[in-house]
Amino acid sequence: MAALFASLAVRKALDTLSSLLPASLAASSSSSAANRARQEQDLEDMRMLERTMRRIHATLHDAEQHWDIHEESTKLRLKELKELAYDAEDVVEEYEYEVNRCKVEALELSASTADHKRKRQQNLSLKLLNCPSLATVSQFPSLTVLHVCDPFKEEILQRLVNSHMMLEELHIESDTINSICLDPLKLPSLKNLDVRCPNLKSCNAFAGLTSLKILWIRCSPRLHIPDSLRSQLEELRILDF
């Protein structure tokens, strides 16, 4: 009877191991070169264990059918085989745990990568530097950061700024423009505005930018900042460089 229990334990462990090996083989083929050698060695060890367990299972089955279990030598052989069977079962359980842990880590990594990619897509940054001949611009639905620097056409600036409702950060550098036309209704997410325009005299929508939290004014001494805007800002810097 003891041999029967050990035989059942080996059979169960064999079934588990046989179901794990194909998934482990697939995981090994998709691993990096650094991990592949170790995983292939682990797989070879598991295949060797599988062959050994099959021999143990067959021997225990024969013992139940044909061996004289009253002989001392037979008892000793059965005892050793049972110990091997239960040790093998423990190894398979540990291997099953490790395979499942690797699956969970792979899923977490995949989810993290997808989330990082999604965030990168959601936070598109655009810089226009030295584009004096640019006449048309495309729509970028996920544009959140825009940096425009001389030379550029003012209509391009207005079109870019007032057609991207997800825009959160705007940097404008120009030695020529004297006014900036912003539409607060089209900039509901703008939080950070950085302006370096020595000739700038007005920005018509300052008072309406209710989401604005950070304002940097550089080299724009003639630009007026209304008190209503000052009170809502978390950071205001007026610099002469």
Which pLDDT tens digit goes with each residue over 126-154? 888 888 877 777 777 778 899 989 888 88
Q: Where are the beta strands (DSSP E) in the chain?
A: 124-129, 143-149, 169-173, 179-180, 192-196, 202-203, 214-218, 235-239
- Checking if the pLDDT of 21 tops 80, the result is no
The three-class DSSP label of residue 238 is: strand
Residue 183 and residue 112 in one domain: no
18 and 64 assigned to the same domain: yes
| DSSP SS3 for 4 | helix
Pair 52, 135 in one domain: no
Out of 58, 92, 121, pick the residue that ends a domain.
Answer: 121
- Shared-domain flag, residues 144 and 68: no
pLDDT at residue 30 is higher than 60:
no
Residues 6+ apart with CB under 8 A from 215: 193, 194, 225, 229, 233, 235, 236, 237
Based on the fold, state whether residues 10 and 85 are members of the same structural domain: yes
| Same-domain check for residues 137 and 230 | yes
Q: Which of 86, 121, 156 is the last residue of a domain?
A: 121
Q: How confident is the model at residue 38 (pLDDT cuts 50, 70, 90)?
A: confident
Same domain assignment for residues 107 and 157: no
Q: Same structural domain for residues 178 and 132?
A: yes
Same domain, 171 and 207: yes
Of 63, 98, 121, the residue that ends a domain is 121
Tell me what percent of the residues of the chain surpass a pLDDT of 70. 79
For residue 237, with 0-12 CB atoms within 10 Å meaning exposed, 13-18 middle and 19 or more buried, which class applies? exposed
Number of domains in the chain: 2
Cβ atoms within 10 Å of 194's Cβ, excluding its own: 16
Tokens of 57: 């299972």
What pTM did the predictor assign?
Answer: 0.50
Domain around 83 = 2-121
Can you read off the two tokens belonging to residue 4?
Answer: 């029967």
State yes or no: pLDDT of 84 exceeds 80.
Answer: no
CA pair distance 40, 241, nearest whole angstrom: 62
Tokens of 207: 């008072």
Check if the beta carbon of residue 154 is closer than 8 Å to that of residue 131: no
What is the spatial distance between Cα 52 and Cα 50, in angstroms, rounded to a whole number?
5
Query: Of the segments 15-19, 69-73, 90-94, 175-179, which one has the largest average pLDDT value?
Result: 175-179
Q: Are residues 207 and 144 located together in one domain of the fold?
A: yes
Residue 187 and residue 95 share a domain: no
Are 59 and 81 within 8 A, CB to CB?
Answer: yes
| 66 and 162, same domain (yes or no) | no
